[in-house]
């Protein structure tokens, strides 16, 4: 049976603990905790939030800080990037989070191939730390929205295949990176071939320019959501879809309405 979970990025202004309760009240199923400005949550609070989420049957994931570049020319920045991801994983473990999402790297002066090698090695090293620490979360590098960033769909799926990490598919980023073009069927077919059991996704509408992503928009224009929802259901794929629009929870409810229109029962 297909399982779809919908919810917001962030706590909708309520703080993480109350935000989880708010998500439940709205009839949503998940929430992504945002550490994008830094890992400031203490482990004790993470444990409290995790218990509330379990009690309310709300699935949690988290987004690591934006300040990450695993292929930086400066080794100190690479080490700081790894620390930010691992600090996120520690909190994620206590939260009971499924995925730790992050934007992996920038090409800079490196070739895509060399950037891939550096990211792959860093992910393998971090997964060794997760195993050693017993932190039960999955690294989820995200498809990125700017042409300067490492993280096309093909690069991301190759990384998952070769390292065993998970991934996050941001459909708005793919759309923006390709200057207003996305073939949902092609994207979903590639994901399906990766033998992923449950897709962790981001969705919103988005504004873009020649270099890709500019800013996220509310759900009323491009890219369209209904064809994606239809494609997911037709392929029988399980998916968590996190709204990253400016009004995250409201657009999560809009997406819920689309799935219900297509016959899915939450």
The answer to whether residue 251 is domain-embedded is yes
Average pLDDT over residues 58-79: 97
- Mean pLDDT lowest for which of 132-136, 180-184, 191-195? 191-195
* pLDDT tier, 61 (very low <50, low <70, confident <90, very high otherwise): very high
Q: Span 85-102, mean pLDDT?
A: 98
Residue 9 lies in a domain: yes
Mean pLDDT of 64-92: 97
Residue 90 has φ and ψ, to the nearest 5°, of -60, -50
In a domain, 235, yes or no: yes
Give domain status of residue 222, yes or no. yes
Q: What is the CATH number of the domain that holds 128?
A: 3.20.20.150
Q: Is 65 a member of any domain? A: yes
Q: Which domain holds residue 171?
A: 4-261
Within a domain: 266 = no
- The number of distinct structural domains making up the chain is 1
Q: In this predicted model, what pLDDT tens digit does every residue of 34-53 receive, in sequence order?
A: 999 999 999 999 999 999 99
The pLDDT assigned to 221 comes to 84
Average pLDDT over residues 228-236: 96
In a domain, 250, yes or no: yes
> Among residues 217, 226, 237, 84, which one has the least CA distance to residue 145?
217
pLDDT of residue 230: 97
Residue 102 sits at φ, ψ, to 5 deg, of -155, 155
Examine residue 236 and state whether it is found in any structural domain, yes or no: yes
């Amino acid at each position: 049976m297909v399982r779809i979970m919908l919810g917001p990025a962030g706590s909708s202004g309520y703080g993480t603990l109350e935000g989880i309760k708010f998500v439940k009240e709205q009839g949503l199923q998940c929430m992504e905790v945002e550490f994008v400005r830094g890992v400031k949550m203490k482990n004790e609070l993470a444990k409290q939030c995790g218990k509330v989420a379990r009690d309310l049957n709300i699935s949690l994931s988290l987004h690591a800080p934006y300040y990450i570049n695993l292929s930086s020319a400066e080794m100190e920045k690479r080490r700081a990037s790894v620390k930010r991801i691992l600090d996120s994983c520690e909190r994620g473990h206590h939260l009971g989070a499924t995925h730790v999402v992050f934007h992996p790297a920038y090409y800079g002066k490196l070739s895509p191939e060399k950037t891939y090698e550096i990211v792959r090695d860093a992910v393998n090293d971090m997964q060794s730390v997760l195993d050693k620490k017993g932190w039960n979360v999955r690294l989820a590098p995200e498809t990125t929205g700017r042409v300067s960033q490492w993280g096309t769909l093909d690069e991301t799926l190759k990384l998952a295949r070769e390292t065993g990490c998970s991934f996050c598919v941001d459909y708005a980023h793919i759309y923006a990176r390709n200057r207003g073009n996305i073939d949902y069927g092609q994207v979903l077919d590639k994901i399906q071939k990766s033998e992923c059991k449950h897709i962790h996704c981001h969705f919103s509408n988005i504004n873009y320019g020649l270099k890709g992503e500019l800013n996220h928009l509310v759900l009323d224009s491009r890219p369209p959501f209904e064809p994606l929802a239809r494609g997911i259901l037709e392929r029988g794929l399980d998916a968590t879809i996190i709204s990253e629009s400016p009004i995250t929870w409201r657009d999560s409810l809009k997406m819920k309405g689309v799935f219900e229109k297509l016959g899915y029962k939450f």
